[in-house]
Amino acid sequence: MWLIAAVLSSVFAGVTAILAKCGIRKTDSDVATAVRTVVVLIFSWLMVMVAGSAEMIWDIGAKSLLFLILSGIATGASWLCYFKALSMADVNKVVPIDKSSTVLTVLLAMALFNETNHLPLKLAATFLIGAGVLLMIERKPTEEKAKDRKWIIYAVSSAVFAALTSILAKIGIENVESNLGTAVRTAVVLLMAWLIVIYKGKIGQVRNTDRRELIYICLSGVATGASWLFYYYAIARGVVSIVVPIDKLSIMVSIVFSYFVFGEKLSKKGLAGLVMMIAGTLMMTLIG
């Protein structure tokens, strides 16, 4: 069951990137992140109500709460960096770097959770994923070098924080119902996102958000909420070093949609990188 949840998480995560890109053409990325987090929070708590786990919030231990909060902070940082990068570069350039968090997550899972079965094959799969990411990082000749470097920094930061999110969440939801854990950490992300908007003096931009883009932002929030719920259900019941690579297959969904929606095409080098990432991910899943 957790494998199915991981696949569904991947699909919704792939759609999220496209909807988010549509919502930040004119809208500031920090503002968009804050607004969509409201949608994710509502979605998360609705699922808690449906699961009937709301009263369990008082049973969350201090350790679990601490790691859920830390996971929420890491998620907020990852989101802010990710959507900033998306606002500056093509989807098929940003998403592969963000998905490189798989490599760091798998290595951390091996070290912290002793997920070392079939170690040589896992390392080989991790190498394929990492090499694929490097092949997919391309620069357009017409782009300014400074700008090009800047979006890469945001994308890499997003990947690092995303890896930390998975590890911290695994510890945080060990004894917590997955829907409730997702809702709690989303509340932390919401607080963090809005504090940043207020700190940067962008609160006035919220009221002036383009209505069409607002719809896309909200839809990306719904997709994110669905992806999270399936993802953390899978993480709570499955093997982290398998769940994370499956989730990262969302790159296929994102790249296919980016081609039809934005006309973004992969070069032969980029396509080779995508194939390597998929091969490494499938290998990681099969050996798990």
Q: Mind listing the pLDDT tens digit for each residue in 156-206?
A: 899 899 889 888 888 887 788 878 888 898 899 999 999 999 999 999 898
Euclidean distance between CA atoms 115 and 267, whole angstroms: 35
What CA–CA distance (Å, rounded) separates 103 from 133? Answer: 10
Taking each continuous run of H as one helix and of E as one strand, the counts in the chain are: 13, 0
- The per-residue pLDDT for 251 is 76
Residue-wise pLDDT for 76-95, tens only, equals 999 889 888 988 888 877 88
CA distance 150 to 184: 32
pLDDT of residue 1: 79
Q: Quote the CA–CA distance of 278 and 179 in Å, as a whole number.
A: 29
Residues of the chain with pLDDT under 50: 142-144
d(CA 214, CA 35): 8
- For residue 150, the number of C-alpha atoms closer than 13 Å in the C-beta half-sphere is 11
**Residue 81: its pLDDT value, please?**
92
Quote the Cα angle for 95-97-101, to 5°.
105
The Cα 132–Cα 137 span in angstroms is 9
Closest CA to 15 of 207, 281, 225, 233: 225
The model's pTM is 0.73
pLDDT at res. 72: 92
